[in-house]
Chains A and B, each alone.
Chain A
Amino acid sequence: MPNSFSRLSIAFVLLILFSANRASADHEHASNEFEVFLAGEAYHGSGQVRPGDDDTWFDADVVFGLTQHQFRVFGELYITPDEHDLERLQFGFEFVPETVLWLGRFHQPASAWNTEHHHGRYLQTAITRPFIERWEDEEGLIPQHITGLLFESRRPVGADGAVQLSGGAGAGPALRNGQYDPIDLIDHNPGKHRLSVTGRVAYLPEYTGASSFGLLYGHDHISTSSPMVISALNSRHAMLSIYGAYVDWNSEPWRAIGANYYVDVALDQQARDESFISGYLQVERQLPYKLTVFGRIENSARMQESNYVALFDDHDGDIDIALRRNALGLRWDYVRRQALTIEVSHVVSLKQRSDEIRLQWSAVVP
């Protein structure tokens, strides 16, 4: 890992140097982007001996992009005290305005939350992300990183609206020891990475607006040789089919974002196929003095009966799988590009109930 990180650092520095001197580059019709999303968090949860996998005390999300004519390069490097991963690295070609074909590792487009916030905590009003939207290394139940091709397009419809189409296909994560391992672009890749196909169709009432609603679809072929997984599922293969719908409605001072997923897990013996449902709704309202109050409800059905879901509960002293969660919080954007947030929540997991409180500072530089 240190070796790969040094290689990654060199690549990163080269990219920054390459994209330096913004003023001169501008005249050559090139532009670049460099942002760092920072967050620090304090956490306490009853009945848990350690913070959750999503509750690192510090993280930095480094985003860099370069646009040259119709070509784009984009990357996202996520750093915590325990990990430093190149979460996304995409090379794109914009055929016509707002229609881009990307090659590389990307976030699958069938996640309502992650395609909006990615790893930038400053941009998500709440501190936590819904359990069903968790990343693979946080015991996430749905594969989130694909390495392959991603097509994205936004086309005008009617007088003001637009349709947004996104489709991704490529190698999905391998399933080993109760956790998904996505393709690592630099390090070695143990396990079997099979085809993953995901997509989204969304309608935007305003072409340039932030509101949208639509349908989500994902299909992941999982193949494993892990004895633990085979023992738990009694199957060497699983076909994961995800059908979802979402809404992200913005009308200042209100915002509501919600999604519902139906997940079907087809195993080798059809009689043992499983399915479960998980969804959430978060409502936010801006208040005077740059305060925003928010609340979120997460709920699920049949998750406690699923062997597939139980596979991701690693019994390491934190909550990996939540059946239900109610969260309430307040965010204060006390200065430009910095915010303080407090969030309290009540979680019902596979085996216990817990009350949690989180405090977070988040920011963007420059």
Chain B
Amino acid sequence: MKKIAVTWLLAALISAVLTMPASADETLVLIVSADSKVEQLDSLEVRKLFLGMTVIHNGDRLRPLLNEAEPRLKDVFLQNIVSMTDMTYDRRILRLALQGGRSLPAVYADKFMLINTVAADPTSVSFAWARDVQHDKRIKILRVLWHD
């Protein structure tokens, strides 16, 4: 009886740990405007978008905005979502620009300007720390991309 109780307790603890929300401080989220028609983007679509390829949702051509407000933020995004180092990514998108004049993702070094731009443009897609956007009613969080 004691063994069963211990097993249940252990299982409950593991379950609690697994379902516990990640700290908002180290949670990277995919964001769009609250007015955006986009409800979800899978990993391939996110990769396509940030590699300069065309992604259309409900007739809208989506526009990637690269968040460079913090070096770690961009590094985490590139390594975990795009699966490239910063240098490789930069050369890759430059190559796409050279191959057919594709537009490179717009770069924002100021997080407030980035969030305001996303909020104002229903076709834009970006990423941010959850703590920076989770209470902003103008922003829709599509999903968690990464957490520590």
Interface residues, chain A, CB within 8 Å of chain B? 22, 26-27, 29, 31-33, 35, 37, 63-67, 69, 72-76, 90, 92, 94, 97-98, 100, 115-118, 120, 122-123, 152, 207-208, 210, 252, 290, 333, 336-337, 364
The 7 A-B residue pairs with the shortest CB-CB distance, nearest first, are A65-B101, A74-B101, A31-B103, A97-B54, A208-B47, A120-B98, A33-B103
A selection of 30 A-B contacts at a CB cut-off of 8 Å is A22-B106, A26-B106, A29-B60, A29-B61, A29-B123, A31-B103, A33-B97, A33-B104, A37-B98, A63-B97, A65-B101, A67-B101, A67-B102, A69-B61, A72-B101, A74-B100, A76-B98, A90-B100, A97-B55, A98-B53, A117-B98, A118-B98, A118-B99, A122-B94, A208-B48, A208-B51, A252-B84, A252-B85, A290-B87, A336-B90
B44 touches A207 (CB 8 A): yes
Known contacts A98-B54, A336-B90; A26/B121 CB under 8 A: yes
Q: A residues within 8 A CB of B63?
A: 26, 29, 31
- Closest chain A CB from B77 CB (angstroms): 15
B100 touches A92 (CB 8 A): yes
Known contacts A116-B95, A123-B95; A208/B100 CB under 8 A: no
- Closest chain A CB from B104 CB (angstroms): 6
Q: B residues within 8 A CB of A29?
A: 60-61, 63, 123
Q: Which residue of B lies closest to A27 (CB)?
A: B121
Which of under 10, 10 to 19, 20 to 34, or 35 or more describes the interface residues of B? 20 to 34
Give the dominant DSSP class at B's interface.
mixed
Most central of B47, B51, B87 by chain A CB within 10 Å: B87
Q: A residues within 8 A CB of B80?
A: none
Q: B residues within 8 A CB of A116?
A: 95, 99
Distance in angstroms between the alpha carbons of A210 and B63 in the assembled complex? 21
Confirm or deny: B11 has a beta carbon within 8 angstroms of a beta carbon on chain A.
no
- Closest chain A CB from B94 CB (angstroms): 6
Distance in angstroms between the alpha carbons of A155 and B79 in the assembled complex? 25
Q: B residues within 8 A CB of A74?
A: 100-101
Known contacts A26-B63, A65-B100, A72-B100; A97/B88 CB under 8 A: no
Q: Which of B92, B101, B121 contacts A66 (CB 8 A)?
A: B101
Confirm or deny: B91 has a beta carbon within 8 angstroms of a beta carbon on chain A.
yes
Distance in angstroms between the alpha carbons of A13 and B63 in the assembled complex? 26
Known contacts A98-B54, A364-B94; A73/B101 CB under 8 A: yes
- Closest chain B CB from A89 CB (angstroms): 11
- Closest chain B CB from A154 CB (angstroms): 8
- Closest chain A CB from B57 CB (angstroms): 11
Q: Which of B90, B92, B94, B121 contacts A120 (CB 8 A)?
A: B94
Confirm or deny: B56 has a beta carbon within 8 angstroms of a beta carbon on chain A.
yes
- Closest chain A CB from B56 CB (angstroms): 6
Most central of B53, B61, B100 by chain A CB within 10 Å: B100
- Closest chain A CB from B74 CB (angstroms): 12
Of residues 26 to 81 in B, which have CB atoms within 8 Å of A's CB atoms? 44, 47-48, 51, 53-56, 60-61, 63
**Beyond known contacts A29-B63, A97-B53, A120-B94: 4 more, CB 8 A cutoff:** A66-B101, A97-B54, A252-B85, A337-B90
